[in-house]
Amino acid sequence: MSVVEDGALRGATGAKRPSRLFRNPMAKIASIPMILTAMVVFVGGTLWTVVHSFTGSKLLPKLNWVGFDQYERLWDTPRWLISISNLALYGICSLILTLTIGFILAALLDRKIRFESAFRTIFLYPFALSFVVTGLAWQWILNPDFGLQSLVQGWGWESFQFDPLNNPDIVMFGLLIAGIWQGSGLIMCIMLAGLRGIDEDIWKAARVDGIGTVKTYVRIVIPMMRPVFITSLVLIASGIIKLYDLVVAQTNGGPGISSEVPAKYVINYMFQAQNLGQGFAASTMMLCSVIIILIPWAYLEFGGRKNA
Amino acid sequence: MPDTALTGPRGPKPKKRFSRNNIFLYGTLIVVSMYYLLPLYVMVVTSLKGMPEIRLGNVFGPPLEVTFQPWVKAWSEACTGLDCTGLSKGFWNSVQILIPSVVLSIAIASVNGYALSHWKFKGSEVFFTILILGAFIPYQTMLYPIVIMLREIGLMGDLGGLVLVHTVFGMPILTLLFRNYFASIPEELFKAARVDGAGFWRIYFQVMLPMALPIFVVAIILQVTGIWNDFLFGVIYTKPATYPMTVQLNNIVNSVQGIKEYNVNMAATLLTGLVPLVIYFASGKLFVRGIAAGAVKG
Amino acid sequence: MKLSTKLLAATAIVSASAASAVELEVTHWWTSGGEAAAVSKFAEAWNATGNTWVDGAIAGSGGTARPIIISRILGGDPMGATQLNHGRQAEELIEAGLMLDLTDVAEAGGWADIVNPSSLLDSCTLDGRIYCVPVNIHSAQWLWLSHDAYEKAGQPVPSDWNEFVASAPALEAAGMVPLAMGQQGWQQNLAFGAITIAVAGTDAWREVTVNKNADVARGPEYTAVFEAVANARELARDSNVQDWNQATNMVITGMAGAQLMGDWAQGEFSVAEQVEGQDYSCLPGLGLNEILDTGGDAFYFPANDDPEITAAQKELAALLISPEVQVSFNLAKGSLPVRGDIDMAAANGCMQKGLGILADGGILPSGDQSLSADTQTQIEDLMAEFWSGDMSAADAQARYADLIAAAD
């Protein structure tokens, strides 16, 4: 990471010159699109949303202040509470399972096997398909009358029951099966790249010391792959919070409201209920949770590095 | 660095060909592969069946009588409302949206990433962090502000507006990838070019770009799949005449006329997914290599 | 006849000013078989005038289509015309000056005299100006029964909701689902509304829905309603379909005994070539309370700078309500026409029943006119939760009453 330090150093020496603003003018000009995107679209759009969450906007955004009314109503709405707990359940399971499956698959592929690229392609291809496609395909497979359940029953296991999309208690797992199917391949790929980046000597040393394979992975390799895990974590987490298309395509929130998620609440209240203020309040809560999750990450990424 | 990342497997060598370990290893991989392949198999098989066969009810059985009629229907005959032109029109619309969006977003993000890695200036890290936080904002919450912004710059409903939206929302992840990749290019190369008197753009075009093929491949793959699969922006920032393929897929799948024609739906789904799938299968190892080069360096 | 001549004259005046052919993009969410057939009547009539109908169908439902429609109007890139349910949905767009004022077209066409019931035009009116064209009347309080299913169960076809409930065990015993129900909040809410009017009667309904009286919603009439709905929930337990027309299809194919759905289900029966009284029966007001609400669809015309398009929009507005188009459209859609002065002799038995009720004045304002979209969505969420789970009738009633108390 010497680049970072040098860059900082260059900035520091530059401070002595009077025309600091005009140093490296090209780099600054070239960064204008990024700065505009960050400040105008992301910060501007977010602030706009937060401001309007304190209004009673209905169909059109207006500035008729209502204080915290939208938030009070939000936290009093069963559907929002269900959405939050669904997302928490989905998020935790998805994080753990995607990381575990991604790592195990990568470790298996890293063991000098034949047909590695064929397996890798198989695990990765779902990532090329949209969530809408994923949702439709799995809705079809999980259909109790045509799909998996009837297949297994046809094999003679008459009492076999697996109907997650029509059972409010396990519907989130129906979504999870599809979500992991779509997303784990990319994580596997990143993990595999991380494993390949680990020096052969580590393995040699571990063998010399008589440390078993599993133990080597857990004790030595995984700690060394911290940046890889962090990248994966960020990718998975950003996908989880946005979970929407898959739900709409696969269950549309059903049965009842048992697979509702926050992003869907936001959309429904903004557009169907025509209560923009309520939708904005809900999306502000989503942003808050993102920030709460991301601050530790940003600290680890940027704060941690300076100490190192 | 990037090139050494994929020199070969580093795991411990398996001892024998048919050891218990190996049987376990391949067994696991094959079982897992079935999970990954099942939906594709079901989609393909269903799309080749006629409706009477589907009503019989076995999703997993191969078609008794192969028919390509669902594919023909999905491509050129399926109806939404009055419009019975299937997906064909949407395909070309998607191509028209895709190409400028991919080119513009990658061009901008690569320059950004380059500036952020070798030409840091005061505040650049702050903007970058904000940009990364932007990757977590659910797109839906940005719909209204963007409608207002596009209206103000007069691009609402214009193809240019949609390209701009894709560029903006592709920027966080792409910039991260390019920044990490360019940061891993040895500082000495950069310094040598500086000593030779090369400026910002000359170093970018003559030193950085020639080394950046793997990361460009990753960026292209991510953008092609992301933009091709986009539904939300495509439906809001276009009109019926320029609807992308995903919007027409949604229209076909959700226009239930009588009973759901699962075979046509599956064929339409596969047709829509074909472009990104082909790109994945074709790029193969390049993608893993690019990921290794870009994402892993944190 | 006099009126329609006047209208034709008005159309002629408007079309004279729009000499050249104009392409108008029309967005709507009518994509099921019957709906698409109906919308094609509009398109044919419009294309016959030398203009071009650019069909902007968005599949899904109003919930999918509405954000798209509103974003585009807000973004200054409006379509030529768009379907929206009338009632309170478009008020703010009108207030913001985004909708075309149709008052001159309405006056030229004498809409005030021909639209029946006149409440339809009222919901298009804001501060004395008219902003939309009502195109049909839809009522939600219908029970559709499959003769095939009752034949299989060896039972006579019920003549009201109570008989239907009593016949349910026989249907179940014969391996059929008594009540087909799509698992979507709005359908479950529709069923709730229909049962309410049948069980609680119109006075209690009006007090709660129009006057937002939460005490009545907590009272004994509504207790009976929620118990009836809880009972209906059990009858629909095995119905796993999503879309309303898939549920209708269960009735058409005799897999289910009945469905609670609006009169638009008629269109699906027509497409399937079913004959009323022979293959299926319909009971307006569930056979208990012969009264119908008067919801419906309307077309709005977003304001446009181009005078040529504005002229074409007015021409289309006049066309949509013209007698011939009203007849052909509503016959295809299974809905009732918005004008009382046209000959609907070609309508089938179910529509005749509806026309009769309409002529007798057995009408209620639709929920769209009384409750805001916000309150309706909340009630839909409650109904979705109630129908799919095990919430007790008393809990549901208490939460419903709270929503009514907070309704705006």
Alpha-carbon distance values, A107 to A227, B51, B141, C28 (Å): 17, 43, 38, 52
Domain segments of chain B: what residues? 1-298
Whether residue A121 has pLDDT greater than 90: no
Interface membership of A69 toward C (CB under 8 Å): no
pLDDT per residue over B219-245, tens digit each? 888 888 889 988 878 888 887 778 888
The residue of chain A nearest to residue B37, with distances taken between CA atoms, is A122
CB-based contact C253:C159 (threshold 8 Å):
no
List chains adjacent to chain B, taking adjacency as at least 3 C-beta pairs closer than 8 Å: A, C
Contact flag C388-A255 (C-beta cutoff 8 Å): yes
Six-digit token string for B181: 């990749």
pTM reported for the whole predicted model: 0.86
CB-based burial of residue A96 (10 Å sphere; 0-12 exposed, 13-18 middle, 19+ buried)? exposed
Write down the pLDDT at residue C366.
Answer: 73
Whether residue A5 has pLDDT greater than 50: no
Tell me what the mean pLDDT of segment A285-296 comes to.
Answer: 81
Write down the pLDDT at residue C396.
Answer: 96
Domains of chain A: 70-307 (1.10.3720.10)
Percent of chain A with pLDDT over 90: 28
Beta bridge partners, C142, equal C284
Write down the pLDDT at residue C88.
Answer: 67
Write down the pLDDT at residue A248.
Answer: 85
pLDDT per residue over B242-272, tens digit each? 888 888 888 887 776 656 778 888 898 889 8
Whether residue B199 has pLDDT greater than 50: yes
ipTM metric: 0.82
Best probe of the B interface among C35, C47, C58, by most B CBs < 10 A, is C58
Helix (H, G, I), strand (E, B) or coil at C53: strand
Which among A93-102, A270-279, B118-127, B173-182 has the top mean pLDDT?
A: A93-102
The residue of chain B nearest to residue C31, with distances taken between CA atoms, is B81
Per-residue pLDDT of chain C (408 residues; tens, 9 = 90+): 444 444 444 444 444 444 468 889 999 988 877 788 899 999 999 999 999 998 888 877 667 787 788 888 888 888 999 998 656 667 888 888 999 999 999 999 999 988 888 888 888 888 899 999 999 888 889 999 999 999 999 999 999 999 999 999 999 999 999 999 988 888 999 999 999 988 998 899 999 998 999 999 999 999 999 999 999 999 998 888 888 888 998 999 999 999 999 888 888 888 888 898 899 999 998 988 888 888 888 999 999 989 999 999 999 999 999 999 999 998 888 888 888 888 888 888 888 888 888 888 888 877 777 888 889 889 999 999 999 888 999 999 999 999 999 987
Write down the pLDDT at residue B257.
Answer: 62
Write down the pLDDT at residue B12.
Answer: 56
Contact flag C374-A268 (C-beta cutoff 8 Å): no
For the domain made up of B1-298, give the CATH fold.
MetI-like fold (1.10.3720)
Q: How far apart are CA C137 and CA C358, in angstroms?
A: 10
Whether residue A271 has pLDDT greater than 70: yes
Best probe of the B interface among A4, A5, A31, A267, by most B CBs < 10 A, is A31
* Residue among B79, B156, B250 whose CB faces C77 most closely: B156
List chains adjacent to chain A, taking adjacency as at least 3 C-beta pairs closer than 8 Å: B, C
Looking from the CA of C304 toward its CB, the CA atoms found within 13 Å total 21
Please state, rounded to an integer, the average pLDDT across all residues of chain A. 83
pLDDT per residue over B203-223, tens digit each? 999 888 888 888 888 888 888
The residue of chain C nearest to residue B236, with distances taken between CA atoms, is C68
Domains of chain C: 2-138+295-360 (3.40.190.10), 142-293+371-406 (3.40.190.10)
Whether residue A12 has pLDDT greater than 60: no
Write down the pLDDT at residue A304.
Answer: 46
* Residue among A1, A31, A107 whose CB faces B11 most closely: A107
Q: How far apart are CA A83 and CA C228, in angstroms?
A: 29
Alpha-carbon distance values, B106 to A27, A118, A244, B225, B256 (Å): 17, 29, 26, 14, 39
Write down the pLDDT at residue A252.
Answer: 84
Q: How far apart are CA C161 and CA C167, in angstroms?
A: 10
Q: How many residues does chain C have?
A: 408
The residue of chain B nearest to residue C56, with distances taken between CA atoms, is B240
Six-digit token string for B14: 């398996």
